[in-house]
Structure 1
């Protein structure tokens, strides 16, 4: 899949970006270069390859180091809600946006 300068111009317009001619040319080369890499990756036969859960799994058995689930921050709800325009029973009150 290769993009054209018209495609780059349309994408820039949709993203509301102002690209000069030299920037469009550079962007075209970079995006098409990315698509070339994707196509080369698609060409690799991966049939029968088991996906890795972790990139270093082929080197060593990986054990996830999970920390103990404990409270580490104090409860500063009152301080955090002090600047809120409206609070009730510890909850932020917001205007209704859905009828």
Structure 2
């Protein structure tokens, strides 16, 4: 009866076990990802929100008290610009009508 050495297989298992411990598991990787600092929303930041509000207010049309103001003028300065803008709107409306009918 020959006794088998029991210490050799245990060393092989411990060597392979330590190699597995060096590589992080999927759970550890996902845990690291969830611990990241969340990105700040530009809408939650008060200064960024105020800047966006100011920019939006600048883009909005200013109300005018002039009753003769053309609705299609888009606050253009000269009458020629108003006529050109009106013609562009009419052409776009005509093209849209032709597209809808086809």
> Shorter chain as normaliser: what TM range?
under 0.3
Greater strand share, 1 or 2?
1
Greater helix share, 1 or 2?
2
Tell me the TM-score normalized by structure 1: 0.24
Tell me the TM-score normalized by structure 2: 0.23
Q: Which has the higher contact order (CA 8 A, sep 6+)?
A: 1
Larger radius of gyration: 2
